[in-house]
Chains A and B, each alone.
Chain A
């Protein structure tokens, strides 16, 4: 059932690390590990949320952790879209949408679903459905980078 190009074990292990990281945020610092909200706080474009230093250090940790993995385990596969336009449009819509919807894959997906929050369940169903629909639509018009 699982295609050969999938990485179920790495996915599960990496996922556990993400979940433990989010658990540390919650149980030690009392905060939700929601990346979009913490980024907004770091960039000072949100009036409420975690203290600036806490948010900023978490955000700085993300590339630091990825860098450590690439040092210890060798190059990490990163097949980005070639087109700057795709990156710009995607970034703009993700930035706007995550603020309007109060969260992204980490806040609603990981932290909210695990709490059985109704808002996060609705949010996750919405962004999953929109993601599936968008990729299908892009494929249909030949925008499959």
Chain B
């Protein structure tokens, strides 16, 4: 229990520090990455490359292990279906990402750097999540 707590906090802290160091806590830099025909800034591509490398190794290790170090089992996605929800949801997410230059991680990390502006985005994001949940329950009460 205590080890889980420490590791979860440590992982989040390292993740947030990485966001701050990488320039991804700066919405203008992210937006510039998405601005292919303007002041294009490729920094985000380096961040993705740097993040994917250790994770690719981690997945190789994960395949050879029966269980994680401090938990009884791996809880990783097993769905393989590519459906409208995945495509439409990801397209919508991309629109919001382009609108404000923010995705969930940098927005939450931003609470420590630019509290007032980040809080507006984070509250709206949580409301958006709650709206999705509400609609989901309304349309498909069983799921």
Residues of A within 8 A of B (CB): 2-3, 5-33, 35-36, 39-40, 43, 45-46, 50-51, 53-55, 57-70, 73, 76-81, 84, 86-106, 108-115, 117-119, 122-124, 126-136, 138-139, 144
CB distance from B126 to the nearest CB of A (A): 5
With contacts A21-B14, A60-B9, A97-B91 taken as known, whether A28 is within 8 angstroms of B69 at the C-beta atoms is yes
Partner of A87, one of B8, B69, B124: B124
Q: Is the CB of B25 within 8 A of A90?
A: no
* Count of B interface residues, CB-CB < 8 Å: 116
Partner of B90, one of A68, A117, A130: A130
Q: Which residues of B contact A63 (CB under 8 A)?
A: 16, 108-113
CB distance from B9 to the nearest CB of A (A): 4
Report the separation of the CA atoms of residues A104 and B30 in the bound assembly, to the nearest whole angstrom.
14
Which residue of chain A has the shortest Cβ distance to B33 in the bound complex?
Answer: A131
Q: Which residues of B contact A61 (CB under 8 A)?
A: 8-16
Q: Which residues of B contact A59 (CB under 8 A)?
A: 12, 108
Report the separation of the CA atoms of residues A80 and B102 in the bound assembly, to the nearest whole angstrom.
9
Q: Is the CB of A14 within 8 A of B91?
A: no
Q: Which residues of B contact A19 (CB under 8 A)?
A: 50-55, 58
Q: Which residues of B contact A95 (CB under 8 A)?
A: 96, 124-132
Q: Is the CB of A78 within 8 A of B92?
A: no
Report the separation of the CA atoms of residues A51 and B73 in the bound assembly, to the nearest whole angstrom.
13
Q: Which residues of B contact A9 (CB under 8 A)?
A: 46
The prevalent SS among residues of B at the interface is helix
With contacts A30-B74, A50-B75, A78-B27 taken as known, whether A66 is within 8 angstroms of B20 at the C-beta atoms is yes
Which residue of chain B has the shortest Cβ distance to A117 in the bound complex?
Answer: B77
In the complex, per-residue mask of B45-79: 1 if CB is within 8 Å of any chain A CB, else 0: 11111111111111101100101111111111101
Q: Is the CB of B22 within 8 A of A18?
A: yes
Report the separation of the CA atoms of residues A99 and B137 in the bound assembly, to the nearest whole angstrom.
13
Closest 10 CB pairs of A and B: A61-B12, A15-B50, A14-B22, A95-B128, A101-B89, A130-B94, A90-B100, A91-B124, A65-B16, A134-B98
Which residue of chain B has the shortest Cβ distance to A73 in the bound complex?
Answer: B21
